[in-house]
Structure 1
């Protein structure tokens, strides 16, 4: 069956949704999750506040959608890069370079940490965030898939646990940089991040 082409209304709807997500990202990063206002997001997008409610239930729904979109884009980009790999060593180097490069997006690391802290105090929000993680990062056969790409670790730390630890490390470094920038400059942060990556995702033992 041929794929149905989007009509003008579909295109306008997608355009509005994309505009709202981009504006939301800007306002969330600028003001933080709890201080961000939907009116500001709508205004930046050149839309009414009602346009937000036509696409999202509330501010949390908007943030979760943005989070899911970012996770999907990052995963797609990572998979595209890994598709060019011809060895475990090359795959690890590709992932290492990708991981260190995410330091350039420290504001998002801080924003995500803020929402996680908010979610810990709000069980329903925590459950929603956990659901997104489970949908986008299914646990079934995850370790087997990581081993196919990165090889066996050769120690008692699973590849799944190592990968799951990488994100929180970025959030922690982004926080500490705010307080000791003279020690954690850009060069030092990337060096520390690379070394932590190497410690967690060592080459498999031959």
Structure 2
């Protein structure tokens, strides 16, 4: 698997920086290679093209999101607690890596339809974590028995996503993580049984 090769992660990290600073369309492979400290040709040993680099960045970072979120929700007893720590962790990850936030919240949105489809495929695992929390909340009676889990999942993700995008567009002028309890409360009020 290419992700275990020595320079792969180096290139992924460089791509985040270059795409955040230049925008996806102006992020040439040569700039990514320079940032990673590798020859241009080295990029092509790991990636087919710039689109493949962007998708790989998203896959790597989303896998990290999912791993970290599963870790923090594991010890929580209620669905409400799990949901709160998921929102907090989502915001923490983005606020500690503002370049990643720019890439995920702005640059991924400017892609073509095929790329968007691939991005949505990568999101499935993340959304599955949300679904698990919602199903758990329904089973425990925390959430309404007739809660539409798929719609609720979209609503939660959309709310977190828009909150993070607004924060990026406002150039990180406020603490994103402090918004987590407010977002959590708004969501929970809509799901109670």
Fold match, TM over 0.5?
A: yes
Q: Which residue of 1 aligns with 2:155?
A: 162
Q: Which residue of 2 aligns with 1:86?
A: 77
| Superposition TM-score, scaled by structure 1 size | 0.73
The 8 Å contact of residues 91 and 149 in structure 1, kept in 2 or not, is answered as: no
Return 5+ residue gaps in structure 2 as ranges.
none
> Rg bigger for which structure?
1
Q: Which residue of 1 aligns with 2:68?
A: 77
| Superposition TM-score, scaled by structure 2 size | 0.77
Mapped to 1, the partners of 2:115 and 2:191 lie a distance apart of 38
Deviation digits for residues 66-124 of structure 1, max 9, x if unmatched? Answer: 101100111111101111122334323322432342451343333223334322xx222
Matched, 1:65 2:53: no
Which of 109, 120, 125 is the equivalent residue of 2:101? Answer: 109
Matched, 1:186 2:178: no
Higher relative contact order (CA 8 A, sep 6+): 2
The 8 Å contact of residues 89 and 150 in structure 1, kept in 2 or not, is answered as: yes
Mapped to 1, the partners of 2:21 and 2:133 lie a distance apart of 35
Q: Which residue of 2 aligns with 1:38?
A: 29
The 8 Å contact of residues 20 and 107 in structure 2, kept in 1 or not, is answered as: no
Return 5+ residue gaps in structure 1 as ranges.
1-5
Identify if the C-alpha distance between structure 1 residues 190 and 91 changes in structure 2 by more than 3 Å, giving closer, same or farther: closer
Mapped to 2, the partners of 1:114 and 1:146 lie a distance apart of 27
Matched, 1:146 2:133: yes
Q: CA deviation at 1:52?
A: 0.6
